Chains A and B, each alone.
Chain A
């Protein structure tokens, strides 16, 4: 199984809502990532988890809160988002550094209204 599964595929939320995006992989990968991608732009790194601990936070606003409950799961909790946060959110995982392949999910399309 070389899949990274993201749910939901589409999410519409109001600016006062609290919602979560979920990501799951069963490849035993130690590193998991969240990216944000706006239309016609490359993915932008948000967070990196290594061995279930947050290792990189790219100065992401606190209205985005990542969580790694175990080695297979990664969540992104969303609260008080703004319309400009509407984007494709991508999860990825990798078995290690350098020479290991990075596997991406299909993404969650988020619309903030």
Chain B
């Protein structure tokens, strides 16, 4: 199973952009890159996902490296409510998947 590596923690100031990196050097050509976040005392929630091209939605942007061995989740303007643990996950396209969580990045937002 492909693995992901993320920094343990990051800090950002409120209302500034945040770039959360994820390395997945063993990614296969059919793995999707998903990002989820988990707020305190809640279940994980979907943020964004992509395969090869960069993706944008109302919550965030996902920048995928050309070789797909890394990706970056971009929160354009962090708020205090964005303080959470962010997980980068790989999902295979064509088989039942073990959705394996890495350690994630704990994001702290400073007011």
Contact = CB atoms under 8 A, between A and B. Distances in A.
B48 to A, nearest CB: 10
Interface in B31-86: 31-32, 34, 36, 42-46, 49, 51, 85
A98 B99 contact: no
A102 interface: yes
B99 A92 contact: yes
Contacts, number: 69
B96 A102 contact: no
Nearest to B106: A40
A1 to B, nearest CB: 15
Contacts of A102: 34, 36, 44, 46, 91, 99
B60 to A, nearest CB: 14
Q: How large is the interface on A (under 10, 10 to 19, 20 to 34, 35 or more residues)?
A: 20 to 34
A58 B94 CA distance: 20
Nearest to A2: B46
Contact of B93 (A56, A58, A94, A98): A98
Contact of A43 (B49, B95, B101): B101
A50 B103 CA distance: 26
Contact of B87 (A42, A48, A90): A42
Nearest to A98: B93
